[in-house]
């Protein structure tokens, strides 16, 4: 992979305030990887987005308005990262895929949040779209080590799924009713995109050694969607 497109869930870097140790380790890992790769990081909205969206939904605010709030939070998170990374990364948050491409000409790391508004989508859909745009694989870094039959944080009997087809993953995602600010390993729109364009997708947990091993073609823990 000459260009890496990855999404990083807000559940990792900002569960209840920014996880400084994770962000610091992400900076170290991406700085090293960027010596030989171009990297696009799509930031999630996480709990911050849900903290805004939940009361708006209770007040009857339309979903589109809630989703726009969520996009704004993801872009704010991207701005946090570009400040944290400093001159190592592009110091601009792009608003389109073309702008991401242009920024990669002079920068090896670009942070972004949601791009243009797409109904019933989250930052995962943005990342999947960017993976298709750059004709590369898609890596999703989330707060669990991969895909499970159930939420492993709630169900002890949840079984880990190391590999799944595009069709089967799309069926799982499609059964979940979309909600602005939802929390699932990959959203429904992302599932459709990776199925339609056959984008090899990896879901890995917060241990960034798995990211390094994956990029270097070594053994890693995670789920492959193909």
| Domain 3-225 of CATH type 3.40.1160.10 | yes
203-216 per-position pLDDT tens digit? 999 999 999 999 99
Domain ranges of the chain: 3-225
Q: What is the pTM of this model?
A: 0.92
**Phi, psi dihedral angles at 31 (to 5 degrees):** -60, -45
- pLDDT at residue 212, rounded to an integer: 97
Residues (pLDDT < 70) of the chain are: 1, 117-121, 176-185
174-183 per-position pLDDT tens digit? 876 555 444 5
- pLDDT at residue 62, rounded to an integer: 93
- pLDDT at residue 181, rounded to an integer: 45
CB hemisphere CA count around 48 (13 angstroms)? 19
- pLDDT at residue 182, rounded to an integer: 47
- pLDDT at residue 199, rounded to an integer: 97
Contact 129, 193 (CB under 8 A): yes
- pLDDT at residue 179, rounded to an integer: 53
- pLDDT at residue 136, rounded to an integer: 97
């Amino acid at each position: 992979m000459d260009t890496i497109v990855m999404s990083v869930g807000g559940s990792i870097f900002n569960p209840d305030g920014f996880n400084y140790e994770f962000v610091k380790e992400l900076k170290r890992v991406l700085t090293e990887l960027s010596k030989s790769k171009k990297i696009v990081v799509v930031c999630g909205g996480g709990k911050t987005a849900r903290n805004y969206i939940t009361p708006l939904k209770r007040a009857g605010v339309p979903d589109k308005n809630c989703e726009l709030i969520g996009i704004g939070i993801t872009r704010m998170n991207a701005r946090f990262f570009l400040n944290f990374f400093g001159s190592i990364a592009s110091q601009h948050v792009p608003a389109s895929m073309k702008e991401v491409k242009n920024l990669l000409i002079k920068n090896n790391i670009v942070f972004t949040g949601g791009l243009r508004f797409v109904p019933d989508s989250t930052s995962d859909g943005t990342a999947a779209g960017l993976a298709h745009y750059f004709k590369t694989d898609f890596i999703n870094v989330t707060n669990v080590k991969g895909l499970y039959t159930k939420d492993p944080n709630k169900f002890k009997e949840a079984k880990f799924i190391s590999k799944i087809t595009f069709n089967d993953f799309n069926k799982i995602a499609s059964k979940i009713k979309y909600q602005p600010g939802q929390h699932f390993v990959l959203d429904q729109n992302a599932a459709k995109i990776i199925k339609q364009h056959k984008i090899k997708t990896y879901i890995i947990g917060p241990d960034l050694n798995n990211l390094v091993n994956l990029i270097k073609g070594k053994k890693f823990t995670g789920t492959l969607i193909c």
